[in-house]
Amino acid sequence: MRLCISLLLALCAGLPLAVVAGNLPTPEQGSVLRIQGSNTIGAALGPALIKGLMQEQGFSKIHSEPSASINEEQIVGLNAQSRRVVVELAAHGSSTGFSALKQSTADLAASSRPIKDSELVDLEPLGDLKSPSAEQVIAVDGVAIIVHPGNPLSQLSTEHLAQVFSGQVQTWESLGGRGGNIHLYARDDQSGTYDTFKELVLSRRGKALLPTAKRYESSEELSDAVSQDPQGIGFIGLPYVRQAKALAIADGDSLPMLPLRSLIATEDYPLSRRLFLYLPPNNANPWAAALVAFAQSHKGQAIVAANGFIAQTVQAISVSPTASMPEGYQAISAKAQRLTVNFRFEEGSASLDNKARQDVTRVLDYLKQHNKLNRQVTLVGFGDAKSDPARAELLSKLRAMAVRRELVKSGVVFREIRGFGAQMPVAANSGDEGRIKNRRVEVWVY
């Protein structure tokens, strides 16, 4: 119990934490941990993180054993006493993870989309699952729109995507391509990938998925099917593009963006999304807290990257100035490098969201390691469109000031704080999701 409490306190503070080898209990019977939820996480990343935790605990002969049910498995290892230790993993879709928490058949829920308000209410007896210690972003992913590798089309807007997947547009010729009728491929209703696509593309425009679309529980099977169908189009998590071709996507007034790792890391890519582990505050299983802590550690984030997702490790990247950028932004990008993190805020609030709170620690670590605490950092704020551009600019600068307040506590002295208002949108301002993405703060270092 003491170990569990200390892990939760560290997680709440946004600290990456490794678990001391051999500290976790290993009962003689039953599994030590039960995880249910997202297939995107559970197909490969989840098992890899579990194995990494077991290795850190000093276990031997770590391996996976498939279950009789598809998309279920057990991760098994032997402890120092040669006792068999088992973690159960079921990956039938994000919604099944929250259902399992309610039914007490899981200790952790893996989800490739945020918890819904209805699920939050249902799970109130387990504590506040939106609290910083409960809602843990372990990786960033992008929903890639994939077609056959021979398809000549290179980009689509989210508006066109909604028309295609609702059946309003039915031929490739209508999109400026060729190939005749469009064949639709989609994840199943339990999938967080489907929930994300529905939220970001379909529901925003009052549309629903065409009932004749071919549905898949397996990400790999969907991707392989599209790559073999010259008329096919589907959506998939970034690691599962495989042999298919990914299209560049534009949203609203944003430029078309490919699902590049740098654009997904900053969540600028229109169909970027977060991958979560939800740890109920009232759950006393130390294995659950330990796995979340391991996933946030440097070793855990290396496993995230090795499995094709975007780790939250902060890096500096060069951005070439272009004519479409505001003049002041061009000046910054010509001399500085951008960190691969954007600070975003809780809906309708000036408070940093749970990922941003953890990113404060990550950015500070980077600045300290690279000796950039003293006047070598510029914060750049953006926002959604307002009727008064001056007000939009002021609000964007205030968001940057909110990030400044957090970093100043650890001794960062800033070079400049800028606000560019509603310029350079990364998403459409017509919906809440897009406005939240546009309300962001970038970090630039000299």
Q: Is residue 5's pLDDT more than 90?
A: no
pLDDT for res 19 = 54
Mean pLDDT of the region 203-221: 95
pLDDT for res 204 = 86
* Structural domains in the chain, sorted by start: 2-134+279-306 (3.40.190.10), 142-265 (3.40.190.10), 314-445 (3.30.1330.60)
Q: At what angle are helices 2-12 and 286-296 packed, to 10 degrees?
A: 40
Q: Encode pLDDT of 332-380 as tens digits.
A: 999 999 999 999 999 878 899 999 999 999 999 999 999 999 999 999 9
Q: Is residue 175's pLDDT more than 60?
A: yes
pLDDT for res 7 = 57
Mean pLDDT of the region 18-41: 85
Q: Is residue 15's pLDDT more than 50?
A: no
pLDDT for res 21 = 57
Q: Encode pLDDT of 410-423 as tens digits.
A: 999 999 999 999 99
The reported pTM is 0.87
Q: Encode pLDDT of 107-137 as tens digits.
A: 999 999 999 999 999 999 999 999 999 999 9
Q: Encode pLDDT of 83-107 as tens digits.
A: 999 999 999 999 999 999 999 999 9
pLDDT for res 165 = 98
